[in-house]
Amino acid sequence: MGKAQAKSSGLKASGYFSYRLKDLIALVVIIACWAGANILFQPMNILPRFILSFAIMAFFVTFSALLIRKFGVVLLLFLLAVTAISSLPDLTGLGIKAYVVMFIAGSVFELMYLIFYTEIKVIPFDVIFSVVIALASVPLSTGLLLSPALVNLRLAEIINLMLLDFFIALIAAMVSFFFWFNIRVSKFILKFEYAS
């Protein structure tokens, strides 16, 4: 319990629960880049379009969490993405229910991050594992919202889709981490993180 309390105090001291204006501006820029990248994949066939769109989603979600590191940033990113990007993978045709699915996924991320932050000593893995679990949960929450009976009938297919999402998200999250790792000491990123 002492370790968990110390970690919680560390989160508060790091400003994890308070946003700056530039955090919100960065979020809008990330959404714009994500939407632009997503448009490029729309002319493709269904499977490659799904894989690349999902990988881009995992990439930008991971990058946002690593760059901004604020409570609720992934949840906010998901809800803004549903509004700004009409063709998110796993959400096509859901309408208003897409917000519920993304709210669930964002909440899963926040919960997993707080758990992993207290348990995992290697810093980026708390973000990576949280993103992967949150995105892998999307097919299940989508299915349950559409028809719990259908989920029961097609459980094997949903599990397969969750596994596909899991591995796509894992690869994309790792790529995003390596990208962030290589730019994290650049003048621009240091100024973003530490300048008032």
How does pLDDT run across 102-113, given as a tens digit for each residue?
999 999 999 999
CA distance 64 to 95: 25
Q: How many domains is the chain partitioned into structurally? A: 1
CB 87 within 8 A of CB 38: yes
Q: Lowest mean pLDDT: which of 6-10, 14-18, 170-174, 175-179?
A: 6-10
In a domain, 4, yes or no: no
In a domain, 13, yes or no: no
- The answer to whether 150 and 143 have CB atoms below 8 angstroms apart is yes
Is residue 79 a part of any domain in this protein?
yes
Res. 150: pLDDT tops 70: yes
Find the domain containing 142 and state its range.
Answer: 19-194
- Is the confidence at residue 3, as pLDDT, over 90? no
Q: What is the pTM of this model?
A: 0.85
Query: Which residues in 103-135 are b (16+ Cβ under 10 Å) and which e?
Result: ebbbbbbbebbbebbbeeeeebebbbbbbbbbb
Indicate whether 10 belongs to any domain.
no
Query: Given this model, what pLDDT does residue 57 score?
Result: 93
Mean pLDDT value across residues 29-39: 91
Task: Decide if 132 is inside a domain.
Answer: yes
Higher per-residue pLDDT: 92 or 64: 64
In a domain, 183, yes or no: yes
Structure tokens at 140: 């299940």
pLDDT of residue 73 exceeding 70, the answer is: yes
Task: State the pLDDT at residue 133.
Answer: 95
Does 23 fall in a domain? Answer: yes
Token couple for 148: 């719990």
pLDDT at 129 over 90: yes
Q: Does the pLDDT at position 71 exceed 70? A: yes
On whether residue 11 sits in a domain, the answer given is: no
pLDDT confidence bin for 85, thresholds 50/70/90: confident
Of 74-78, 92-96, 102-106, 150-154, where does mean pLDDT reach its minimum? 92-96
pLDDT at 50 over 50: yes
- Confidence (pLDDT) at 13: 47
Q: How confident is the model at residue 95 (pLDDT cuts 50, 70, 90)?
A: confident
Q: What is the mean pLDDT of the chain?
A: 85
